[in-house]
Amino acid sequence: MFVQQLVNGLTIGTIYAVISLGLTLVYGVLRVLHVAHAGIYVLGGYAGLVAYARSQSLLLAFLVAMAASGTAGLVVQRWIYLPLLSQPRIVPLIASIGLFIALEDLFRLVAGPYSLAFSARLPFPPATVGSIALTPAQLLVAMVGVPLLALTWWVLTRTKIGLAWRALAEDPEMAEASGVNVSRAVALNFLLGSALAGAAGVLVGIFFNAVEPTMGSVPAYKGLAIIVLGGLGSHAGAVVASLLLGVVEAVAIGTVSLPRDALAFIALILILLVRPQGLLGQR
């Protein structure tokens, strides 16, 4: 029973990690809490649904969702955040919250206020490993989410653009003086982070068999809780906190009658009391 709950938690935690890693990428470079990231995630869910409905191809659904969300991220970075970076930090945060609310209303206007079924035919059957049962949706999360996280980690640690992002996170002025093309680095950062959000939107749509205009509401605040829990700007911390939160939610729901969404903030408060900088953050 416990092992099954652990696997269920790691599945949800992997989805959280794909969302929150994209959010952490943006925060690391711009030091902006990108609340509208949740709206871009919803866009990915709808784009993937439309692509799958027309093609019956999971691969195309993910590619279209990531392209649509990545493009939206570039637009947000260029036309909303860039003009506001010289303002106090509260200004881009308010703009981001306003954009998220506007996107929710736009999705409701275009797609309707109700859930749309995302009934994908997955090309593999359920699996059983010992006493652990794995649904096709859980297998899909593992087959898509884990490689995306690994690829992002490789980009961060093994490529020049990843080095540029880390340099910008440490000292933007020194990075620019060292020859980093800041505008290009920031744009690519938003592109990757938003593409991850789009992929997560498709994963959630398939996992829960539906997409809806308000599906970004919980990730909007839970994603922020995760990146604070992991340590602001820490990519590894975001992944660890996501997996930990997923496991805590699954185990707690299976053993204690606690609301899933409240657990993120209960865990956040408890850990910050011990480590104010977060799990892997630095003072």
125, part of any domain: no
Report the pLDDT value the prediction gives residue 124, as an integer from 0 to 100. Answer: 86
Instruction: Give the span between the Cα atoms of 82 and 79, in whole angstroms.
Output: 6
282, part of any domain: no
- Short-list 195, 218, 253, 211, CA closest to 73: 195
280, part of any domain: no
CA quadruple 1, 264, 32, 95: dihedral sign: positive
Report the pLDDT value the prediction gives residue 24, as an integer from 0 to 100. Answer: 94
**C-alpha dihedral, 235 to 237 to 242 to 246, nearest 10°:** 160
Report the pLDDT value the prediction gives residue 66, as an integer from 0 to 100. Answer: 98
**Quick one: how far is CA 32 from the chain centroid?**
15
Instruction: Give the span between the Cα atoms of 85 and 77, in whole angstroms.
Output: 10
Q: C-alpha angle 81/162/20, rounded to 5°? A: 60
The predicted model gives 225-238 an average pLDDT of: 90
239, part of any domain: yes
What confidence category does residue 232 fall into, taking pLDDT thresholds of 50, 70 and 90?
confident
Report the pLDDT value the prediction gives residue 175, as an integer from 0 to 100. Answer: 87
Per-residue pLDDT for 282 more than 70? no
Report the pLDDT value the prediction gives residue 257, as an integer from 0 to 100. Answer: 65
Instruction: For residue 82, give the H/E element and its range.
Output: none
Q: What is the mean pLDDT of the chain?
A: 92
Instruction: For residue range 134-158, list pLDDT tens digits in order.
Output: 999 999 999 999 999 999 999 999 9
- Short-list 179, 197, 205, CA closest to 24: 197
What are 245's two structure tokens? Answer: 């939160």
Question: What are phi and psi for residue 116, nearest 5 degrees?
Answer: -110, 130
Annotate 160-219 with three-state secondary structure: HHHHHHHHHHHCHHHHHHCCCCHHHHHHHHHHHHHHHHHHHHHHHHHHCCEECCCCCHHH
Report the pLDDT value the prediction gives residue 276, as an integer from 0 to 100. Answer: 82
The predicted model gives 226-249 an average pLDDT of: 91
126, part of any domain: no
222, part of any domain: yes
Domain residue limits at 161: 2-119+133-274
The predicted model gives 35-51 an average pLDDT of: 98
CATH code for the domain of 47: 1.10.3470
Instruction: Give the span between the Cα atoms of 278 and 241, in whole angstroms.
Output: 9
Report the pLDDT value the prediction gives residue 243, as an integer from 0 to 100. Answer: 95
**Helix, strand, or coil here: 57?**
coil
Give the residue ranges of DSSP H helices in the chain.
Answer: 2-30, 37-55, 58-76, 90-111, 136-158, 160-170, 172-177, 182-207, 217-230, 235-255, 260-274
- Short-list 7, 6, 2, CA closest to 134: 7
Structurally, the chain folds into a number of domains equal to: 1
